[in-house]
Amino acid sequence: MQELEILSLLEENARLSMREIADATGVEEEKVKKIVEELEKRGVLLAYRAVVNWEKAGVEKVCALIDVKITPEREHGYDSVASRIMRFPEVKSLYLVSGTYDLSVLVEGRSMREVASFVAEKLAPLQNVTSTTTHFVLKKYKEAGVMLYDGEELRRLAVSP
């Protein structure tokens, strides 16, 4: 149970110190440190990340959600195709999903042309990929559980007819 509490705290704020986690959980700081080290060793804790609002930082990035239909491979199912797709540096997230499509891929590039080239030249030609549908992200409101804009900023972004 201590592990889950520590994981929840770190998921919410990865910058917490071992002392802060110990205070929040009532677990001794040395024990928290050992638990975190064990979670890292077991591959439960994989990375510590910052959620960045790149738009506010003045950096242009284009994101797209790409729905992919694939023909699963005998004895490997979807995993072997997913393994090839996730190795592309443009791919930020990859999910096996239910519904009309099999995979959902979050891709990031510097421009729409770069994302389109990725789909046309790298993703769509892969063996077992039968079709793709690309949805360009127009605006991010919330990412990784973090709201990127407060209510005041959203009100100012109203579109008039």
How many residues are given for the chain?
A: 161
pLDDT at 1: 79
The per-residue pLDDT for range 77-121, each reduced to its tens digit, is: 999 999 999 999 999 999 999 999 999 999 999 999 999 999 999
Between 3.30.70.920, 3.30.930.20, 3.90.950.20, 3.40.50.10210, what CATH number should domain 62-139 receive? Answer: 3.30.70.920
Q: Where are the chain's structural domains? A: 2-41, 62-139
For residue 59, the tally of other CB atoms under 10 A from its CB is: 10
CA atoms within 13 A on the CB side of 52: 10
Give the phi and the psi of residue 11 in degrees, each rounded to 5. -65, -35
CATH 1.10.10 fits 2-41, yes or no: yes
What pTM value is reported for the model? 0.81
Measuring CA to CA, which residue among 104, 106, 101, 105 is closest to residue 62? 106
**What integer is the mean pLDDT of 120-144?**
94
